[in-house]
Amino acid sequence: MTVTYVIPGAEVTGLERFWEVIGEAVNGPDGYFGRNLDAFADCLGGGYGTPDDRDFVIEWRDHDLSRRALGHEETARQLRLRLARVPDANRAFVQGQLTEAEAGRGSTVFDWLTEIIDDRAPGVLRLL
């Protein structure tokens, strides 16, 4: 039997809220399903917080609302946070991503999340 986890797109107002929403969808109130991109990928690939039933679908309802909330503005905010703690060797790369995001170009947080889902759990994402 396929289990469906629902992400209500209107509730995703930023990346921090996404972590709460996906955690609750998969593991109930105060549930965990990653709190950063690497942990999220681990959960999807069989790490801590992964559903016991591997036959699941993620329905991202009203995903266009999330796409806007996780757009270039949120991406720039996240990249500024990352820039504050990134090793010097990666600083120029992250700064380049930040410059692109501030100009409204490049991939967004929404893109990062959907790419991780598609990579780690191919075929489970349904954008509605």
pLDDT of 47 strictly over 70: no
- Show the DSSP H helices in the chain as ranges: 15-27, 37-44, 63-69, 72-83, 88-102, 109-120
Rounded CA separation 109/14 (Å): 9
Average pLDDT (93-100) is 98
Domain shared by 79 and 27, yes or no: no
Taking 90 as the threshold, does the pLDDT of residue 15 lie above it?
yes
Domain check: are 16 and 64 in the same one? yes
Mean pLDDT of 44-55: 71
Report which residue type is found at 22: I
Burial class (CB in 10 A: 0-12, 13-18, 19+), 87: exposed
- Long-range contacts of the stretch 63-69 (C-beta < 8 A, 24+): 63/7, 63/9, 63/127, 63/128, 64/9, 65/9, 65/10, 65/12, 66/7, 66/9, 66/12, 66/18, 66/110, 67/108, 67/110, 69/12, 69/13, 69/14
- Check whether residue 16 and residue 35 sit in a common domain: yes
State what percent of residues in the chain have pLDDT above 90: 87
Same domain, 18 and 39: yes
Strand order across the beta sheet in which 3-8 lies = 3-8, 56-61, 125-127
Q: Do 84 and 96 belong to one domain?
A: yes
Same domain for 6 and 35? yes
Q: What is the pTM of this model?
A: 0.94
Residue 46: band (very low, low, confident or very high) from pLDDT cuts 50, 70, 90: confident
Work out the average pLDDT over 11-24: 98
Q: Which domain holds residue 102?
A: 72-107
pLDDT at 113 (0 to 100) = 98
Residue 49 has pLDDT above 80, yes or no: no
> Please, what is the average pLDDT of the chain?
94
**Residues 44 and 15 reside in one and the same domain:** yes
Q: Are residues 51 and 112 in the same domain?
A: yes
What are the beta bridge partners of residue 126? 59
> pLDDT by residue (tens digit) across 69-93?
999 999 999 999 999 999 999 999 9
Q: Are residues 103 and 120 in the same domain?
A: no
The CATH number of whichever domain residue 113 belongs to comes to: 3.30.370.10
Q: How many domains does the chain have?
A: 2
Both 28 and 83 in a single domain?
no
